[in-house]
Structure 1
Amino acid sequence: MTWTINGSLDVVSATDRPDLLADPVVTALEALDPADAARIGVAAIDPTLADTAEFCAAYGSPLEASANCVVVSGKRAGEERFAACLILATTRADVNGAARRRLDVRKASFAPMDIAVELTGMEYGGITPVGLPDGWPLLIDQVVATAPELVIGSGIRGSKILIPGDILVKLAGAEVIEGLGR
């Protein structure tokens, strides 16, 4: 696939470089339709530049084509519920509005870093919607869902995934939510 948002990144097929992906991401890619998996790229990066703003500045990838995945949680009747929210890097997740309503909890908040890392099997700063735990809702902002190409985490800090929005909406648990990103 030809990318327009890669800046100076050397992008290769994600299926050709499982070493650049967290284990849950590799498993999720293997479960995708091969035609969709072939449309996903990965690029190695300096792990110290994994945070979105630093990454975009260093590699020339546009901030408006980067999407961040955040893990949110809340409790209902003693049960802790989790979801991942995928929003453009230029927006903030509506955690206590849209995400809270979807989780059906009184209050939602960002999950603590150690819990998010443990439950996803991914590195902090690299958490991605590809390969989330079974049963988790993946809440995707409408703008992300319709984007022709995006840069997202890979499950590790040492790489980034390039992916079209139409593939993200096919991931397990995916739900498109208007106004999730504000």
Structure 2
Amino acid sequence: MREAASALGLSVEVRERPEARSLPEAAALLGISPVDIVKTLVVKRSDDTFLFALIPGDRAIAWPKLRQLVGVNKLKLPDADVALAATGYERGTIVPLGSTTAWPVFADESIRGRRIALGAGAHGFSLFVDADALVQALDATVADISQPL
């Protein structure tokens, strides 16, 4: 993951932390708000390809908005083993950097202009990065794709 970030010219900080059982627990361990943790969700298309959705920790995917943006009728979250096979990362550690395949990235517009925390590819670690730099480096599509939990 660090090599992938470096290759993209991204400045990242990886922090070790105790393993967390939930996003709010991870936020508390890092001393940040859940909104500052961005979930990297693996989304499966009906043609068995995938995309990454970057969603703030206090929000959920707005499926109708994401389907319309992607231009498909069906999207779903795959089982954990399918997500692992698609990315090389276990759930709770997924990050769009260094994935086994560079899937397209769709980021919720609310992450712009902030320093965010993401999974870092391994349990017990978090990656901090400037959201705008991440969006630019990944050529992410930015749109309103989330809704309140």
TM-score range, shorter chain: 0.7 to 0.9
**Which whole-Å CA distance do the structure 2 matches of 1:81 and 1:103 have between them?**
12
The one-character-per-residue Cα deviations of 1:42-70 (angstroms, maximum 9, x if unpaired) are 100112x1631111223322222111111
**Which whole-Å CA distance do the structure 1 matches of 2:101 and 2:7 have between them?**
13
Determine which of 39, 45, 48 is the counterpart of 1:80.
48
Quick check: 1:68 aligned with 2:66? no
**Which whole-Å CA distance do the structure 1 matches of 2:22 and 2:97 have between them?**
18
Q: Which has the higher strand share?
A: 2
AA aligned to 1:140 is A
SS in 1 for 2:60: coil
* Change in 2 beyond 3 A, CA 1:167/1:51: farther
**Which whole-Å CA distance do the structure 2 matches of 1:89 and 1:169 have between them?**
17
Quick check: 1:157 aligned with 2:123? yes
Other-structure match for 1:93: 61
Is the 8 Å Cα contact of residues 117 and 124 (structure 1) preserved in structure 2?
yes
Consecutive unaligned residues of structure 1, counting only runs of 5 or more, are 1-24
Is the 8 Å Cα contact of residues 92 and 181 (structure 1) preserved in structure 2?
yes
Deviating 4+ runs (over 3 angstroms): 132-135
Is the 8 Å Cα contact of residues 74 and 106 (structure 1) preserved in structure 2?
no
* Change in 2 beyond 3 A, CA 1:86/1:175: same
If asked which structure has higher relative contact order (CA below 8 Å, sep 6+), I would say 2
Is the 8 Å Cα contact of residues 64 and 88 (structure 1) preserved in structure 2?
yes
Q: CA RMSD in A?
A: 1.8
Number of aligned pairs?
A: 147
**Which whole-Å CA distance do the structure 2 matches of 1:168 and 1:111 have between them?**
24
Consecutive unaligned residues of structure 2, counting only runs of 5 or more, are none
Structure 2 counterparts to residues 17-96 of structure 1, below 5 A? 25-33=1-9, 36-37=10-11, 40-47=12-19, 49=20, 51-75=22-46, 79-94=47-62, 96=63
Alpha-carbon shift at residue 170 of structure 1 (Å):
2.0
Is the 8 Å Cα contact of residues 73 and 82 (structure 1) preserved in structure 2?
yes
Q: TM-score, normalised by structure 1?
A: 0.73
* Change in 2 beyond 3 A, CA 1:112/1:171: farther
